[in-house]
Chain A
Amino acid sequence: MIELIGVKKGFEGKTVLDDISSVMEAGKTNLIIGTSGSGKTVLMKCMVGLFDIDGGEILYNKVNFFTMAEKDRKEIRKEIGMLFQGTALFDSMTVEQNIMFPLEMFSDLSLRDKKKRVDFCLDRVNLKGANKKFPAEISGGMKKRVGIARSIVLNPKYLFCDEPNSGLDPQTSMVIDKLIHELTVEYNITTVINTHDMNSVMEIGDNILYLYQGHKQWEGNRKEIIYSKDEKLNSFIFASEFLQDAKQMRQMEMEGKNTGTPPEDRP
């Protein structure tokens, strides 16, 4: 579990995050949503310790990440897996070497066992047989899946995904979302995802934190978001007519009134 208590962060006098509090539970997919520049990525980088915070606390299982000894912080970091927006795979290494890297650095397993673990992770992300390929030789969706495989190879307790769907077609996005959600539930991981993708919000958002200009504007789950009266949230989430229609359909579906006909044809 990760707790954010009054987190503040600014750059050169400009406040980027102001008093953000939230609880992100294990086994749930926690989404951070918001417009570009709302502070999502900064918040995530603060959570993983890439940025120091100016105020507040970030607790990993009730322990303050920023006041603990460097040695303990390193130990927490070994329990963190992160999927970057651009995947951050090591270009000069093959898929297998990329996934094996954390194992080589932090485990005492034999080469045979490491390879077995890599094969298991590749199989888990449906990339069996891609071991010897280089990142430049695979598609964007495959890179994301390799990134996920690398993130889970050490059995992390915390998984961070920065815009996992960016640059992917809707179908591949859904595959990635489903995969992350399955892994979260299967291994009881505390997963935090930064996303713009409304499909992700509606399908896998167990806990959704909406940031607006560095403030926490709204928090709830994918069911509550449908009925939210928050104007800023609604204008962000249901920006297009299509999405408003989808919202209405989802509301009716949840109320058991789905007639199977589009909203404009309904009486």
Chain B
Amino acid sequence: MLLTHFGRYLLMLKGMFSRPENWRMYWKQFMKQCVDIGVGSLGIVLIISIFIGGVSTIQTAYQLVSPLIPKSTIAQVVRDSMILEFAPTITCIVLAGVVGSKIASELGNMRVSEQIDALEIMGINTKGYLIMPKILAALLVIPMLVAISGFVGIWAGKVAGEFSGILSSGDYMMGLVQEFKGYNIFFALTKAYTFAFIIASISSYFGYYVKGGALEIGQASTKAVVVSCVFILLADYGLAALLLA
């Protein structure tokens, strides 16, 4: 069963690669997906990033009670937590819910209402026209959202630290530049690209192959989110073991 799904998933990915019937229409579809995934998810990404950043600062300060540890360490911890884990992983898990369910239900509805069949009969490669732009848009936009999440989370940590009197703005800014490793950014972006591919491709798979009606579309959406989250966590561990250990 698992192998059947995996085989069909690979065939779906292979089926996307063919010469577009009309480049302009594919470009239009790609831009539409960029807007849907990017702008449509920006609000929720900003909200979670602000709160994660703020809470990270307060909780780190709560745990670093020794007077021997400088306050700027709090900023270092918040920075690295945001870049290494919170911005890519938590953001992408939220995006698996927001974007993944949207992709699965959109394709599922198109399948059930025979819109995909209509496109096939017109001679359009539906995997190429419907799935490829979603995956490419996710690969472009989700890393941007992750970067925004990282910046906003770190900024929110600064505001929360200052607002609650934990550390001054100067201490926080000093901590941010101490022992900064550019490699962490590379690691975060590698995760973002991997997770983006997982979210878009797995959700497309579950939506594209829906059979039945409204109930099955709902089930496909749920499966898309759950399976995407599981694979994000597996990939998270795999990438950490591969690139950081």
Give me the interface of A with B, judged by CB distance under 8 Å: 45, 48-50, 74-75, 77-78, 80, 82, 84-86, 88-91, 102, 104-106, 160
Contacts and interface: CB of A to CB of B under 8 A. Distances in A.
A223 to B, nearest CB: 32
A84 B123 contact: no
Interface of B: 21-22, 24-25, 109, 113-115, 117-118, 120-124
Contact of A88 (B22, B114, B123, B124): B114
Contacts of A48: 121
Nearest to A102: B122
B37 to A, nearest CB: 15
A17 B60 CA distance: 69
B238 to A, nearest CB: 37
A50 B115 contact: no
Contact of A104 (B22, B118, B120): B22
A41 to B, nearest CB: 11
Contacts of A78: 122-123
A82 B123 CA distance: 12
A106 B117 contact: no
Contacts of B25: 104-105
Q: Which of B22, B24, B115, B120 has the most CB of A within 10 A?
A: B115
Nearest to A160: B121
Closest 7 CB pairs of A and B: A77-B123, A88-B114, A88-B118, A74-B123, A84-B114, A82-B121, A78-B123
Given A50-B120, A80-B121, A106 B115 contact: no
Say whether chain A's binding surface is mostly helix, strand, loop, or mixed: mixed
B134 to A, nearest CB: 15
B117 A105 contact: no
Nearest to A82: B121
A88 B115 contact: yes
A77 B119 CA distance: 10
A75 B123 contact: yes
A186 B122 CA distance: 22
Contacts of A80: 121-122
Q: Which of A86, A102, A105 has the most CB of B within 10 A?
A: A105
Contact of B122 (A45, A86, A105): A105
Contacts of B115: 88-91
Contact of A82 (B109, B118, B124): B118
A77 B121 contact: yes
Given A49-B121, A77-B120, 5 more contacts: A50-B117, A78-B122, A104-B25, A105-B124, A160-B121
6 contacts: A77-B121, A86-B114, A104-B24, A104-B25, A105-B21, A105-B22
B118 A84 contact: yes
Contact of A50 (B109, B113, B121, B124): B121
